[in-house]
Every structure is written in C-alpha cells, then in structure tokens.
A and B are shown apart, each in its own frame.
Chain A
Amino acid sequence: MASIETGPALLRGTVQRPPGSRTARPRRGIRWTRLLLIVFLILLSLSFLTPGFWMLNASLRPEAKVLEFPPRLALLHPEWSNYRTVFSSIGPYLLNSIRLAALNVVGSCIVSSLAGFAFARLRFVGRDALFGVVLVTAIVPSVVYLLPQYILFQKFGWVDTLYPLWVPQILTPVFGTFLMRQAFKTLPVELDESARVDGASTFRIFVSIMVPLVKPAIASVAIFSFLGSWNDLFGPLIFLTSPEKQTLPIFLAEFQGEFATSVAPLMAAATVTVVPVLIIFLLAQRYFVQGVTGSALKG
C-alpha cells in the first residue's frame, strides 16, 4: 500500500528522508561528484530523447534534406507543408481514435469502479474465487481469445465496425478492477457503516461517498485505458477492414505504404499521433506512476 502513497512524492522528487541518510551529510568532494553526476544524467536523458527530437525535426524539413548529416535544425526555416499533407487526410482516423478512446475511458472507469467496489466491499459467496478468475484472465495472452473473438464478431456482423474495439475492452477491465479494488480497500469500513446507519443505500454509498474518495485511482484507470485504446495496433489490424473506419496507428502504417519514399510527411504524421499522448502524460504523470507502481503490488 505504501507505494500508492509514495506515488506523488516520487514524482515531485521530494521524498523525505530521515536525517542522517547518505546525502544529508555534505562532505568535501561530494559536491563535485554530485555536479558531475547531474551533468551525466542530463546528457543521458537528452540522448535518450534524441529519436523524439529527430522525429520532430524531420517533420519540419523539406523532403530532400531529411537524411542530410549532420541534421540541421528546422526551427529557423520550418517546412509546414508536411503537416498540411498530413492534415489533409488524417481527419477521419483522428476522429475514430478519439471516439474509441472516449468510449473506452468512460466505459472502463465505470465498470472497473463498480467491479472493484464489489470485490473490495460487498460480501457474497465465491467473491475471492471470482476475483482469482479475474486475475488469471490477465495472464492469458490475448491472442488466445482474440481468434475466437474474431469468429464470434464475424457472426454478430461486428467485423469492420468499432464495436470489437471497445465492447470487450470495457467489459473486461481486469487491470482497472484490480487497481480500484486496491483503492476501495484502503478506505475505512466506518465510512459505509455510518452512512448505512443514516439510511443510505449501497448504491448511494458508492456514488456519493466512495467514488469521490478514490478519484486518483479512477484517474489511473482512465489513463491506462486511454493509452491502451489510442496505441492499440493489433485490434484495428484484425477487426477493421475498410479504410474510413481505421484508427491512427493504422493510418500511420498505411501512410508509410502510400508515401513510401517521403520520410518528412511520415514523421509529421507520427508527431501528430504522439503529441496528444505526451501532453496527457505530462499533465497526468502522477496518476500514471501510481498505476504502474500499483500494478506491482500483490493482491
């Protein structure tokens, strides 16, 4: 449980240490090693980001000069036409991706908080066994059920619609349920008891008392289902066939096929795909880190 609490502190880098820990006693020489270490780490992070910078830079260069070496900075004379090429065709794909992401985020937040609440707070026969089944399904590789799902959706007439990309996902939010169960378990039992004495129904307790208290966990679930939906490649690849229903990852893949020789517009398209995720990541990093550390805790 402690990891959940350290999430925010971990992010701001302000974890308090008791006095006397290693860095608390400055000695001569330590300062220089620290400074060197900082410089080293900054260089390391920058080199790690190089592919990203290169993508951004290439997206703003004229096609003929993309591969020139050393690459010249595009900031002085940005070539916006690459983005014009991208925006002339990206529209429908972007819309599909946004629509799917919204459905997935809203759906999995609702379903996983309901299920997490039930597993953490309600008493019923076979509860823990059922939760065990839920966890086991998380380990089964997704291809095992994707193949029969495909056949099933063919029968439903759902192939080449967006349904296969959100209905199963929001009805089986295993990771979200796990996170929400953890979150609900940390709340004191007295909370529901006193509300029940005041005559509130279980559903009322859930909606007006519990949910507001687990908002950070809901945010984590939202972020992970957004990422899963936005970045999904395998799902659209097998379930969608007509071009106008495709999502961004497939758009990028097709784009490569269509403009096989033009690197610059492709990099512009890649940038457009990546930037929304990066913005959300930067804004909500806290919940993200909580979700990741939460995944490492054992039930």
Chain B
Amino acid sequence: MLPIVVGIGAFQLIPVVVSMYSSLTRWDGIESPQFVGLQNYKDLLTTDPIFYQVLRNTLLFTVISVPLTVLFALVLALFANLRLPGLAFFRTAFFAPYVMNVVAIGYVWFNIYSPDGILNSLLKTVGVQGPSWLADSTWVIPAVIIVNVWQGVGYPMVILLGGLQNIPAELHEAARIDGANGWSRLLRVTLPLLTPQIFFVLLAQFISSFQVFGLIYVMTKGGPGFSSSVYIFYLWQVAFQQGKFGYAAAMAWLMVILIAVIAWAQWQLQKKWVFYG
C-alpha cells in the first residue's frame, strides 16, 4: 500500500505538477527555468508550422487507424465466436503480433516495404508498379497504418470476443423463434449488446493511436521530410534532441487537453448509441 502511494506521488503526481509549471517556462533542463507565461502555447499554436503538420498527421493516422482496427477486430471476434475447430490457432495467430517488439516489427515491415522488397515484387507479378512506400510522402502514413492495424488488432479482438461470449444464448434463441435470420440477429441482438465493449476499445485505441511512437521511430523517423512525423515523435525531438523542455512540456499538456476533449466528446456521444442492458 505504502509503496504505491509513495511511487505515484514521487513519479507521477509531482512530475505532473512540475511539467505543468515547466510548460510555462523556457527551460533547457540544465539551467534554471525562466518563467514566460503562456508564450510556449502561443508559439505552438501560432508560429510553429511543423506543429500543425504533425498534428494533422497524428489526427489522420488516428482517424483511419482506429476504425479500421476496431472493425477488423470485430469481424475476427465474430469469426472466433463460431464454434469451429482450430480456433485456438486462429486466435493465437491474430494475437501474436501484439506481443512482439515494435522495433523488430518495424524492421520486418521496413524491408517488406523497401522499393525492391517482397511487397513490390508481389505487385509486379500482377503488373502493378508499387510506390516506394516509406520514402513516398503520400504512401508513408497508409503504410504505417497497415502495420499498426496488423499489430494492434489482437487486443480489441480478445476484448470483443469476451463480450460476445457473455451474451446469453437465450436471446439468440428467442430472436430465432421470432423468425429473425442470421443477419438480423447480428444487427439487432449481437451488436447492440456488444456496444459497451465496442465503445471501450474505440476509446482505448484512440488514446493509444494518438501516442504512436515506436513504429514511426523505427520505420520512418518522421520522414520523408515531416510527412510522417507524429505528435510524440516531434515531442521527443523537441525535448531530447533540441533540449527545449519547456516547449515540450507545453506540447505534452496540449495533447492532454486534446485527448481529454475528444474523449469527453466520445463519452457524450456514447449515450446515444451504447446500450447498457
């Protein structure tokens, strides 16, 4: 009991306060911070063109990656919920990428995507000249999204599967007696009852996608140019390569506000579509 109180106090609560204060300062982390008020926030929002590009990239990444992951996870969970032989293998296969090291995964895909890698060789056999994926500013974000979905789908799948298995079979039975076919049972019974889990995974995926770092660090380093630089990656550069701790802290807090606002909006919206039985 005591250790966790001390731990959270020393390593989370105090740092949170420190970072809130340091976001109001100009600070290189070595000399003592200079108080500058809201200047960092003002600079971020008005004079930093890279910040806007990074924000746009992050939102684009999140808006495409999250629905794709959840939809894919839902389809897989529905499959996994059928009583078929070989399901243990199926589930293991889809979950395995989730436990793998992001650096290893990043380099495997880096080579798959290389201009003369297997993906382009495969495309050539069907007569398509593939782009140079990670070196192409149009394709780089979609390419990383594919890897992100591939790696991340196992976690929501397991949660949704847990939700599916908690749906009482009697409900399906009753619906069938009433003459509902497979599709309408799925749309009218299964999905509404699964909405709490769907909401949870949407929210969790949103929060984690917004903070994607590893894949970008390994596969693209934010490039070409800044075309795949995302929020945490830019923050890391600002703090640890340029030594602008105050500015980075302001970025961190701006992210907290953004995530909180979007999460709050999702929370309000869920009242309209999530069904708590």
Partner of B11, one of A172, A234, A277, A289: A172
Residues in A neighbouring B197, C-beta threshold 8 A: 296
**How far, in angstroms, from A279 to B245 measured CA to CA in the complex?**
40
Per the bound structure, the CA–CA distance linking A48 and B76 in Å amounts to 12
A13 contacts B88, C-beta separation under 8 Å: yes
A148 touches B15 (CB 8 A): yes
Q: Is A161 an interface position by the 8 A CB rule?
A: no
Known: A17-B83, A58-B111. A69 touches B121 (CB 8 A): yes
Interchain residue pairs with CB less than 8 A apart (12): A11-B91, A48-B94, A115-B3, A139-B207, A145-B11, A151-B18, A252-B104, A267-B111, A270-B104, A282-B92, A292-B162, A296-B159
Across-interface contacts of A194 in B (CB, < 8 A): none
CB neighbours of B155 from chain A (8 A): 292
Asked whether A150 lies within 8 Å of B29 as measured between CB atoms, the reply is: yes
The answer on a CB contact under 8 Å between A42 and B102 is no
Q: Does B90 contact A (CB under 8 A)?
A: yes
Contact of A281 (CB < 8 Å), options: B13, B99, B172, B239? B99
B118 near A253: Cβ-Cβ < 8 Å: no
Q: Which B residue sits closest to A168, measured CB to CB?
A: B11
Besides A21-B173, A152-B18, 15 other A-B contacts (C-beta < 8 A): A41-B86, A52-B108, A69-B121, A130-B5, A150-B239, A171-B6, A171-B8, A233-B213, A267-B108, A274-B104, A277-B100, A281-B95, A281-B99, A295-B159, A296-B200
Contact B89 A45 (CB under 8 A): yes
> Closest residue of chain B to A115, judged by CB?
B4
In the bound complex, do residue A154 and residue B29 qualify as a contact, i.e. CB atoms below 8 Å apart?
yes
Asked if B3 and A147 make an inter-chain contact with CB atoms under 8 angstroms apart, the answer reads no
Q: How far is the CA of A167 from the CA of B94 in the complex (A)?
A: 33
B82 to A171, Cβ gap below 8 A? no
A22 within 8 A of B: yes
Contact A6 B162 (CB under 8 A): yes
Interface size class of A (residues with CB under 8 A): 35 or more
- Which of A3, A37, A148, A234 sits near B22, CB closer than 8 Å? A148
Interface string of B155-169 (1 = CB under 8 A from A): 100110111011001
Please, which residue of chain A has its CB at the minimum distance from the CB of B200?
Answer: A296
- B4/A10 in contact, CB under 8 A: no
Q: How far is it, in angstroms, between the C-alpha of A37 and the C-alpha of B5 when the chains are bound?
A: 52
Chain B: residues with Cβ within 8 Å of the partner, total of 90
Cα-based distance from A70 to B124 in the complex (angstroms): 11
Nearest Cβ distance between residue B15 and chain A, in whole angstroms?
Answer: 4
Q: Which of B87, B162, B245 contacts A151 (CB 8 A)?
A: B245
Bound CA–CA A91/B35 (angstroms): 46
Bound Cα distance A42, B89 (Å)? 8
Q: Which residues of B contact A3 (CB under 8 A)?
A: 162, 166
Chain B residues whose C-beta falls within 8 Å of the C-beta of A48 in the assembled complex = 93-94, 97, 150
Q: Mark A113-149, 1 if CB is under 8 A from B, else 0.
A: 0110110001000000010011001011111111111
A144, B8: Cβ atoms closer than 8 Å? no
Say yes or no: B101 contacts A277, CB within 8 Å. Answer: yes
Task: For B120, give the chain A residue with the smallest CB separation.
Answer: A69
State A177–B8 Cα separation when bound (angstroms).
Answer: 12
Instruction: Give, as a whole number of angstroms, the nearest-CB distance from B81 to chain A.
Output: 9
Residue B79 CB within 8 A of the other chain: yes
Q: Which of chain A's residues have a CB closer than 8 A to the CB of B11?
A: 145, 149, 167-168, 171-172
State the Cβ distance, B24 to closest chain A Cβ, in Å: 13
Chain B residue at minimum C-beta to C-beta distance from A67 = B116
Contact A227-B8, Cβ < 8 Å, known A6-B166, A21-B172, A151-B18: no
- A278 at interface by CB-CB < 8 Å: yes
Q: Is B256 an interface residue (CB 8 A)?
A: yes
